[in-house]
Amino acid sequence: MEIGKMYIDGQWTLSVSGATHEVINPADGSVIGVVTRGGPEDVKKAVAAAKRAFYEDGWMDVKPVERARLLLKAADLLESRADAFALLETKDNGKPLRESIYDVSDAVTCLRYYAGIATKPHGQTYDVADPMQAMVVREAIGVCGLIVPWNYPLLMSMWKIAPALAAGNTIVFKPSEMTPMNAIKFFEILEEAGFPKGVANLVMGPGAVVGNEIASNMDVDKVAFTGGTETGRSIMRAAAGNIKGISLELGGKSPNIVFADADFDIAIDYALFGIFANQGEVCSAGSRLILEDTIYDKFLTVLTERAKKIRVGNGLDETTEMGPLVSGEHMHKVLEYIEIGKKEGARLLCGGNRITAGALGKGFYVEPTIFADATPDMRIVQEEIFGPVLAVQKFHGEKQALELANGTPFGLAGGVFTSDGAKAMRVIKKLRAGITWINAYHPTYCEAPWGGYKQSGIGRDLGTFGYEEYTEVKQININLQPGETGWFDK
């Protein structure tokens, strides 16, 4: 089996150490690839190449129209190979193929969106006291380290690569060591599209080694990370060395509030979609369902019946609605949380087990799981499980709904279901979260900012906000009538 290589300074290369790493298909435990395993020396080589490309080779002077042309070429190439990328995404991550198809389509859209943003007006001008003219421009930051997770391998990559390159930066990119396959394929596209050597660099390896070197390297000007909150704290500490810019999209324990006056069937549908889409491996998952007391029992009865019918299986099976978890290690973590929920006294309504029947026994499958009667002090309410496990809480009145909804350290996302528009807005405005929905859950658009409050992160991905994360703001003052100030006597 050919070893997947890193891409550094325009060359495909093995790691300095020569170490390799097997990539596992979570659906059946089979090996789908072997990739080189990088270390600090590989990161240093990539950073040096990125720094040279930016300052010495002229990338910082490349006009926006040319950056846009390259990104559009990459988008066209990705779109032409969408089927192959979707298939590899499912084998790499485990998610149902229909979800991978959407992810690839969204990735193409993201590339084209930021290609468009690159050529649009940026900056401001000011009328100030004569004879001065003042303006503000946005410039590229320089070398950007980009670190992404395994739950949306390709799409999360585009959320960072596209705006960083559109804004004129050079990049050192690290995918998750568990899901690197499409990253390699996409860097082949960047090479084919014609990005100059050193502009885009791919380094693979464990986060504790490669990610830490990216975050601490003194020649990296910004680090952008999506992943767990504890890792985010480590990156913040490492980034302090040269006070580099950081943007962190971290964990969530997001509330989905359903009032009694909501459309019952729609709320049921989105409650399921909110937690069981992508196997619950979603930072913004509606992992806490907060139900009004008058519909609590009826809602749970129907919800449980529907959850039991979810078809769990290999993502390549077109009938599959929920795939395996990404790895055996992660599966065991989720199963441990389920045991914690039982010990804490939450009432298990369905699921709670690893699926081992037939061919599924070779993979990392967990049943859709619902806990009722969860209370704020429980770990399954306070901590991110990142799997198909739903904790349900009961409320009476808007005040208690908000107390429960805001009662965790996180503030990434949240939803409100009600037929009362005024109530929906009252609650949404008081929900301490960065991404919210009314009578929906999960729709995501590259035009809108993505990020959270509290321990869910710093900064935003996507939209114009995501583009600005990769720019510095410079003030320029121009004297239109140069002359002596007369401030000091001659």
What tens digit of pLDDT does each residue of 23-63 get?
999 999 999 999 999 999 999 999 999 999 999 999 999 99
Q: In this model, does residue 1 exceed pLDDT 90?
A: no
pLDDT of residue 130: 86
φ, ψ of residue 180 to 5 degrees: the values are: -95, -5
For tokens 């399954």, name the residue. 380
Q: How confident is the model at residue 5 (pLDDT cuts 50, 70, 90)?
A: very high
Q: What is the pLDDT of residues 187-238, one digit of tens each?
A: 999 999 999 999 999 999 999 999 999 999 999 999 999 999 999 999 999 9
For tokens 């380290």, name the residue. 145
Give the whole-number percent of the chain exceeding pLDDT 90: 99
Q: What is the pLDDT of residues 149-163, one digit of tens each?
A: 999 999 999 999 999
Catalytic residue among 110, 144, 283, 446: 283
Q: Is 350 part of the annotated catalytic residue set?
A: no
Q: Is 367 part of the annotated catalytic residue set?
A: no
φ, ψ of residue 92 to 5 degrees: the values are: -75, -45
Region 416-441: what's the mean pLDDT?
98
Q: What is the pLDDT of residues 125-150, one digit of tens each?
A: 999 988 999 999 999 999 999 999 99
pLDDT of residue 418: 98
Q: Please give the Cα distance from 395 to 483 (Å, whole number).
A: 70
Q: How confident is the model at residue 281 (pLDDT cuts 50, 70, 90)?
A: very high
Catalytic residue among 177, 213, 249, 384: 249
Q: What is the pLDDT of residues 337-380, one digit of tens each?
A: 999 999 999 999 999 999 999 999 999 999 999 999 999 999 99
Q: Helix 64-80 to helix 153-166 angle, to the nearest 10 degrees?
A: 160
Q: Please give the Cα distance from 232 to 400 (Å, whole number).
A: 31
